[in-house]
Amino acid sequence: MDIRAAGLNELPLLQEIERAAGQCFRDIGMPEIADDEPLPLGELARYHLARLAWVAVTDSDVPVAYLIADRVEGNLHVEQVSVHPDSSRRGIGMSLLDHLADHAAREGTPALTLTTFAQVPWNAPYYSRCGFQILDDSKLAPGLRQIREREAEHGLDRWPRAWMRRAHSPRSP
């Protein structure tokens, strides 16, 4: 599976991937998450323009997964990673996270951060297997606290949330 920068013309496909990936939340009693609309095209375009949007593509160069990130507190914050269910359970999500970690190391960024559902098997437990560790809420920096507030406004705090960080040693130039 190749990973490359997302193309501007592919942004509607990223929305489709997210909608499809979100359906598994319906099966665990979180229909509100399954029904949540993906980021608008304008917001996805911001990630594209910032060069913080990547896709995993098939041999025929069709995206089946994507990852977008923000710069928060000197780290790269995983805003969204979604894998189409037809391509899930093949290590694609982990490959995207590893790609972001390599990008972070090349630019000297010390860590990746993310927020996720604490008790959803393909969320916090999965990210733990990908090298992320849970952060103590009392030690969150202001930028991560702002993300928490936005998520609460969006209703995500109805379910237990976890803040996670994956540190690495930046590569030498």
pTM above 0.85, yes or no: yes
CATH number of residue 79's parent domain = 3.40.630.30
Determine the structural domain holding residue 6 and report its residue range.
Answer: 2-167
Identify whether 128 is part of a domain: yes
Q: How far apart are CA 100 and CA 106, in angstroms?
A: 10
Identify whether 46 is part of a domain: yes
Structural domain tally of the chain? 1
Nearest to 22, CA basis, from 38, 10, 11, 39 = 38
Identify whether 173 is part of a domain: no
Range in 60-64, 66-70, 91-95, 167-171 the model is least confident about: 167-171
Identify whether 172 is part of a domain: no
Bridge partners, 166 (sequence order)? 112
Q: Average pLDDT of the chain?
A: 88
**Residue the block writes with tokens 């690495």:** 168
> Quick one: what percent of the chain has pLDDT higher than 70?
97
Instruction: Please report which confidence band the pLDDT of residue 1 belongs to, taking 50, 70 and 90 as the band edges.
Output: confident
